[in-house]
Structure 1
């Protein structure tokens, strides 16, 4: 064990030295240097590479949406899935622009898609139960979510992919994320609840009252799987399972915004080491996200005031990962360029 630790220290020193000796002032590339170090360390390589990048977009409906926590009706979930499959959504535009493959997964949409081209069928049910008055899903459904999403990651990994992002679509899922955040972090519930799809002041107060009602009903929860079973959507549970499998496969995880980070909080509670494989893509404009990131002690790559979801932050941040790898692999060192170091 001591020999392995010493080997890791030696590799870390070699990687940091390679970064430091590029033709630039020490630390001058800022966060790109941190990204390069993280990617190199994940791959245990001084010449890392990004292969066949993917975003897995999980979609599902939430029983709590029918209680009036969203500005949009529940049927928008399946309508947006169709838009994504047709290439008209933000994530499909940005994904195509930046060379990522988008895989769309039906984790539990309240709609029969049939054998539609481009959609992966991992449906666990036609939406979750209303967590204000019941647990969102059964333990069997939760386990099914974790198993199905792990299999999807394994299939993507088999294509040579080593960097994977996670997106979502599900009306009502900011309510799910707020509850997961509250129970995983201990942050006051009121500080975890935002405007989601664009609630006005009156709608926001109703959302807060409904989520407080759910909190009173279920009481204090500490077990991460129980939190996910009680408040998660099928898409949130599948993102969590996919993240855990990607970590086990030693892939680079690109974490999107508020919803994806709530799934990450559960995965992190079970496997704390997963954070060493995660890149946090942007700081969502949803009120709770910055507090989530602060709780995890991480710095996001982008600050664009977005709150679209879908994995858009992953698609937009991916070129920064490419640039980090490019500078590490291609930028000259002081020695190779014949430039005097200080």
Structure 2
């Protein structure tokens, strides 16, 4: 049976990319001297299908997917599960870091309930797509049923097709969910065949003893459920609703011709999952930063990703990705407005 996420993605305009690369070669600077800024402009030219892509900050859509994880019962987080819904309320009130950054950069912010354990009823501004009151505890049973797994992926498709604005030029996915670094670590361990002790990190601030316990919970679950490397099997057995929704959103965005700016460790676990579900996805992804979470560098390396920043952040919410918006806009402004050697009448031959 085929699934919606296996459908073809939009085509990147390779001609526009080549023309943008040629323009970079004649701007008044030594070739390559702007480093990754040059590649940003070239990528956006291909994504937008024009030699001079437009600035994107006020045409950026940010969606935060919130959900809870049954594995929180195993003591793998430094915070109680109620924090998930309390942070959803904080997002709705505009008090979280991502709210400040979204407002500062004029980016649209959407809050999506993919399945919190506690009710968000009456919280204004939350799009309620809840699958269930959190996933099952994967220490004891698979995190999701087959139908829940597919429904969670489809949340991301729904958000891209029906929630964000039609003229969106860039998508940022954020996440919130107590114990979701445990789920993200389990997903990456399975997909990359890495031992849990090598990938599990501090998450919300665990000490070394608690990190070891977290790794043991992950390792035991992977063995108990005989988790394979097949992405839907991995997602169903140890994934999270918000991790699935993010993966679905990345694929759906690429199907509509919208690139995604990937946030930290959990968002990158979703990107890895999405790339396994849709192998043509990678060229539509831009990686924002390397977080302080232990496993992030390993997963970025597996994706051959070269993130723009490394600020020691590990907040999630899409906050690290939002920090890149002024860098992207600066890259596109330089590409559009710098003079060429011919325009500046600069003699380049000795």
Aligned to 1:109: 116
1:292 aligned to 2:299? yes
- Shift of residue 271, structure 1, vs aligned partner: 1.6
Aligned to 2:154: 147
Unaligned runs of 5+ in 1: 1-6
Aligned to 2:20: 15
Structure 1 residues 246-257: aligned runs within 5 Å? 246-257=253-264
Which whole-Å deviations, capped at 9, do the CAs of 1:122-147 have from their partners, x for residues lacking one? 11110000111111111111111222
Distance 1:9 1:85, change over 3 A: closer
Structure 1 residues 114-125: aligned runs within 5 Å? 114-125=121-132
Which whole-Å deviations, capped at 9, do the CAs of 1:158-216 have from their partners, x for residues lacking one? 43112110100000000011011111122232211111111012211211221121122
Aligned to 1:79: 86
Structure 1 residues 114-193: aligned runs within 5 Å? 114-156=121-163, 158-193=165-200
Distance, in Å, in 1 between the alignment partners of 2:207 and 2:104 is 33
Aligned to 1:29, what secondary structure does the other structure show? coil
Distance, in Å, in 1 between the alignment partners of 2:298 and 2:218 is 18
Distance 1:310 1:11, change over 3 A: closer
Distance, in Å, in 2 between the alignment partners of 1:149 and 1:113 is 19
Corresponding residue to 1:61 among 58, 68, 86 = 68
CA root-mean-square deviation: 1.5
What is the TM-score of this pair, normalised by structure 1?
Answer: 0.95
Structure 1 residues 269-308: aligned runs within 5 Å? 269-308=276-315
- Equivalent residues of 1:59, 1:109 under 8 A apart: yes
Unaligned runs of 5+ in 2: 1-11
What is the TM-score of this pair, normalised by structure 2?
Answer: 0.92
1:39 aligned to 2:44? yes
1:245 aligned to 2:252? yes
Which whole-Å deviations, capped at 9, do the CAs of 1:296-333 have from their partners, x for residues lacking one? 11110111000000100111111111111111111111
Structure 1: 4+ residue segments shifted above 4 A: 7-11
Aligned to 2:175, what secondary structure does the other structure show? strand
